[in-house]
């Protein structure tokens, strides 16, 4: 009989821990590749607690448990996770290690799955437990899997070739670049465990993780340009084998740990952010020297080549027309009543599918009505589905995966009839002004995302308000919608990537927001491409942003009196570009709506 309640599941886990002689266990949202989004087989935290976010950790002891999330999920976690079963903890204020030190009994044995945590996390947590005489114990098998009776199997979908026409560079060229890097670092091999890095390096894609076109696999790259791909045999087609060629040896995914044991005596580079603790342990046991260093594919993957840049423009134009059709539909249908968050998300997906080129969504659509718009990473389901009420704010954050690009766009609109309040307009316009300020900024080469973050927040800060998420994340090329190493965010603990300098070819989001819990939320998001800029009499190299996303921005919520002349010039220039690119793709009422939405202010 399947356990239907989260209380029953928690009780079953505690009994399993007792059978194993453990006093507690740590449950992250993670897979063996430290992925942000994971396949159904790895959704252990969601199964155990009901939490549906993409970042969080639960810690279970015999008599208490805690759920750790960051500021994005403060509201969501309280809606989805039973407060009688779990304490709510802010991961930005307290770490699981600190909580364990304060709450675990003296001498406690706390279990963890070494394939789901980084080495740094394991070391830090072990150190914290040692202070109370406790021990962090690597389990041989995950105890949740022992009690999760209907746990899905990992995807068996085949891996596919990502052609050079979309990749812009051959895999052999990329592997040669990685080999040169290895020689410069004095290492013999490199473990590539991040799924999007493998996809980029070998020019392959897959469908093993919803919303991210990757294939479950590992790579060990060698300093002679060869590589070993560890992947389930059923995923390998003749076409894929031919594409990989003789320089890439294909081995079963289950052989990966064995292969690590074959690297004895060698220096092996492993990214500490994506290489789980078990990889370091296996190399240590084999007698290899593990060198903790950033995955050498991370930066070249982030710097899009000209083919990828043009592919992104093409994908944005196609996607922008679909989103524009949706916004017209929403403006016409939502005021009549009867539409809900789920129906709106379904209609938006239908417009994208009508392009004939949509491969998947790039993440679950955030279709958020009224108070749900105040939850930055809200995920609608049948239980939470709200009607889209006339006379309210509606926020939709969505994206598509196309063979030539990955999109991510947020628009916040007013659902008539009636007029938005002065508060609605004030907050929306402050978000808009921050978005424009960032979009217009030029900056010297060497500037990091942290140095630009304040530009987007300044007008909100002037009113004594802020938002609890980053301003911008990197975006992949038919890959992960959240891609490092670049980021625009406050420079504080847990905000990896904020010290990375922005470089020409990088793609980021520009998405300031405002959220009034229980009432409404606002976010305006476009993707931007870092590009070189020429400035008269400039000294040194300078950069700026090309705005890639082309979709009208709702003007009903704008307080025109708050806009500067520079703001108005940006608005009109942006909408002229939107009209120029999208008009040839639209006709009839869609075209008429676009023309009205893009009229100058």
Taking phi first (over 0 means left), then psi (-120 to 50 degrees means alpha), and beta for anything else, what does residue 464 get?
left
- The SS3 call for residue 532 is strand
DSSP 360-419: EESS--EEEEGGGGGSTT----TTT--B--SSEEEEEEE-EEETTEE--EEEEEEESSS-
- Is residue 1 one of the residues assigned to a domain? no
Q: What are phi and psi for residue 103, nearest 5 degrees?
A: -120, -25
Q: 426-437 as b/e, with b when 16 or more CB fall inside 10 Å? A: bbbbbbbbbbbb
Nearest-CA neighbor of 530 among 472, 455, 591?
A: 472
Is 426 in the same domain as 534?
Answer: yes
Residue that is last in its domain, among 274, 294, 314: 294
Residue 583 lies in a domain: yes
Between CA 181 and CA 404 the distance in angstroms is 28
Same domain? 378 vs 495: yes
- Listed in sequence order, the DSSP H helices in 212-272 are 238-244, 256-260
In this structure, the answer to whether residues 196 and 118 fall within a common structural domain is: no
Please count the structural domains in the chain: 3
Instruction: Write down which residue in 236, 267, 294 finishes a domain.
Output: 294
Euclidean distance between the first and the last CA atom of the chain, given in angstroms as a whole number: 63
Q: What does R_g of the chain's alpha carbons equal in angstroms? A: 25
Phi then psi dihedrals of residue 524, to 5 deg = -125, 120
The burial of 366, by beta-carbon neighbours within 10 Å (0-12 exposed, 13-18 middle, 19 or more buried), is given as buried
Determine, yes or no, domain membership for 164.
Answer: yes
The per-residue pLDDT for 383 is 87
Q: Give the relative orientation of helices 277-286 and 119-130 as an angle to the nearest 10 degrees.
A: 90
Give the three-state DSSP class for 520.
strand
Q: Which three-class secondary structure state does DSSP give residue 67? A: strand
Q: What is the pLDDT of residues 63-93, one digit of tens each?
A: 999 999 987 788 889 989 999 999 999 988 9
Residue 155 located in a structural domain = no
* Structure confidence at residue 493 (pLDDT): 52
Is residue 320 located within the same domain as residue 263?
no
What sections of 441-519 are H helices per DSSP? 449-461
* 601 domain residue, yes or no: no
SS (H, E, C) 87-140: EEEECCCCCHHHHHHHHCCCCCEEEECCCCCEHHHHHHHHHHHHCCCCEEEECC
pLDDT at residue 3, as a whole number: 57
For residues 307-325, one letter each, b for 16 or more C-beta atoms within 10 angstroms of the residue's C-beta and e for the rest, the string is bbbebbbebbbbbbbbbbb
Distances (CA, A) of 276 to 33, 95, 194, 430, 532: 7, 19, 10, 42, 37
- The reply to whether 269 and 132 lie within a common domain is no
User: Residues 228, 328: one domain?
Assistant: no
Helical (H) or strand (E) element with 597: helix 588-597
The SS3 call for residue 319 is: helix
Given the DSSP bridges, would you call strands 526-533 and 520-523 parallel, antiparallel or unpaired?
unpaired
Sign (positive/negative) of CA torsion 271, 272, 277, 282?
positive
Whether 449 and 357 share a structural domain? yes
Q: Is residue 372 part of a domain?
A: yes
Please, are residues 547 and 574 in contact by the beta-carbon 8 Å criterion?
Answer: yes
CATH code of the domain in which 200 resides = 3.40.350.10
In 156-247, where do the E strands start and end? 160-161, 189-192, 204-205, 217-222, 227-231
- Is residue 558 within 8 Å of 429, Cβ to Cβ? yes
* 244 and 309 inside one domain: no
User: Which residue pairs from 8-14 have beta carbons closer than 8 angstroms and sit at least 24 positions apart in sequence?
Assistant: 9/47, 9/48, 9/147, 9/148, 10/48, 10/49, 10/60, 10/65, 10/85, 12/147, 13/48, 13/60, 13/143, 13/144, 13/147, 14/60, 14/62
pLDDT for position 563: 98
**Residues of the chain below pLDDT 50:** 1-2, 494-495
Q: In this structure, are 117 and 225 located in the same domain?
A: no
DSSP classification of residue 32: T
Query: Do 222 and 171 reside in the same domain of the chain?
Result: yes
Tell whether 500 is covered by a domain.
Answer: yes
123, 147, 171 - which closes a domain: 147
φ, ψ of residue 247 to 5 degrees: the values are: -80, -10
Which one, of 206, 150, 209, lies nearest residue 31 by Cα? Answer: 209
Q: How far apart are CA 87 and CA 554, in angstroms?
A: 40
Q: Are 128 and 184 in the same domain?
A: no
In a domain, 153, yes or no: no
Confirm if 76 and 46 have CB atoms less than 8 A apart.
Answer: no
The angle that helices 119-130 and 96-103 make with each other, rounded to 10 degrees, is 20
CATH code for position 459: 3.90.230.10
Which domain covers residue 13, as residue numbers? 6-147
**Is 110 found in the same domain as 176?**
no
By the 8 A CB rule, do 553 and 323 touch?
A: no
């Amino acid at each position: 009989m399947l356990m239907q309640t989260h209380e029953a599941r928690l009780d079953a886990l505690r009994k399993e821990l007792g059978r194993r002689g453990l006093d507690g266990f740590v449950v992250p949202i993670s897979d063996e590749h430290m992925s942000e989004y994971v396949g159904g087989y790895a959704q252990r935290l969601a199964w155990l607690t009901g939490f549906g976010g993409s970042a969080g950790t639960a810690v279970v002891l015999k008599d208490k448990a805690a759920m750790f999330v960051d500021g994005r999920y403060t509201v969501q976690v309280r809606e989805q996770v039973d407060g009688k079963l779990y304490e709510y903890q802010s991961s930005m204020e307290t770490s699981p290690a600190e909580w364990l030190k304060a709450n675990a009994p003296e001498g406690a044995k706390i279990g963890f799955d070494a394939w789901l945590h980084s080495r740094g996390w394991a070391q830090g947590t072990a150190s914290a437990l040692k202070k109370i005489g406790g021990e962090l114990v690597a389990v041989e098998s995950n105890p949740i899997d022992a009690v999760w009776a209907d746990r899905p199997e990992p995807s068996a979908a085949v891996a596919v070739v990502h052609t050079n026409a979309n990749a812009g560079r051959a895999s052999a060229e990329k592997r040669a670049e990685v080999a040169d890097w290895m020689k410069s670092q004095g290492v013999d091999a490199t473990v590539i465990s991040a799924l999007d890095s493998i996809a980029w390096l070998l020019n392959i894609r897959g469908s093993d993780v919803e919303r991210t076109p990757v294939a479950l696999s590992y790579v060990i790259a060698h300093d002679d340009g060869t590589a070993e791909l560890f992947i389930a045999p059923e995923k390998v087609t003749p076409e894929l084998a031919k594409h990989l060629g003789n320089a890439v040896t294909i081995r079963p995914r289950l052989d990966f740990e064995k292969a690590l044991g074959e690297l004895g005596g060698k220096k092996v580079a492993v990214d500490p952010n994506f290489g789980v603790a078990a990889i370091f342990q296996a190399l240590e046991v084999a007698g290899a020297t593990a060198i903790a260093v950033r995955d050498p594919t991370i930066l070249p993957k982030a710097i899009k080549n000209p083919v990828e840049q043009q592919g992104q423009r093409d994908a944005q134009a196609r996607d922008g027309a679909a989103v524009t059709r949706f916004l017209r539909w929403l403006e016409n249908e939502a005021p009549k009543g009867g539409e809900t968050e789920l129906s709106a998300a379904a209609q938006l997906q239908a417009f994208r599918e009508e392009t004939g080129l949509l491969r998947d969504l790039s993440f679950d659509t955030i279709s958020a009505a009224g108070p749900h718009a105040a939850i930055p990473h809200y995920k609608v389901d049948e239980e939470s589905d709200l009607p889209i009420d006339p006379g309210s704010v509606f926020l939709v954050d969505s994206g598509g995966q196309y063979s030539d690009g990955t999109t991510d766009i947020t628009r916040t609109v007013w659902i008539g009839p009636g007029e938005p309040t002065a508060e609605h307009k004030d907050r929306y316009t402050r978000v808009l002004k921050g978005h424009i300020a960032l979009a217009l900024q030029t900056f010297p080469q060497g500037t990091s995302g942290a140095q630009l973050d304040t530009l987007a927040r300044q007008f909100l800060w002037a009113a004594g308000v802020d938002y609890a998420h980053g301003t911008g994340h990197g975006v992949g090329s038919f890959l992960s919608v959240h891609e490092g190493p670049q980021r625009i965010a406050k420079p504080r603990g847990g905000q990896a990537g904020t010290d990375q300098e922005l470089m020409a070819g990088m793609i980021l989001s520009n998405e300031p927001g405002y959220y009034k819990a229980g009432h409404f939320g606002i976010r305006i998001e476009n993707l931007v491409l870092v590009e070189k800029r020429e400035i008269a009499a400039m000294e040194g190299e300078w950069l700026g942003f090309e705005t890639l996303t082309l979709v009208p921005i709702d003007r009903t919520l704008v307080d025109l009196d708050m806009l500067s002349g520079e703001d108005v010039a940006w608005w009109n220039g942006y909408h002229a570009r939107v009209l120029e690119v999208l008009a040839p793709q639209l006709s009839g009422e869609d075209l008429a709506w676009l023309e009205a939405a893009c009229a100058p202010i």
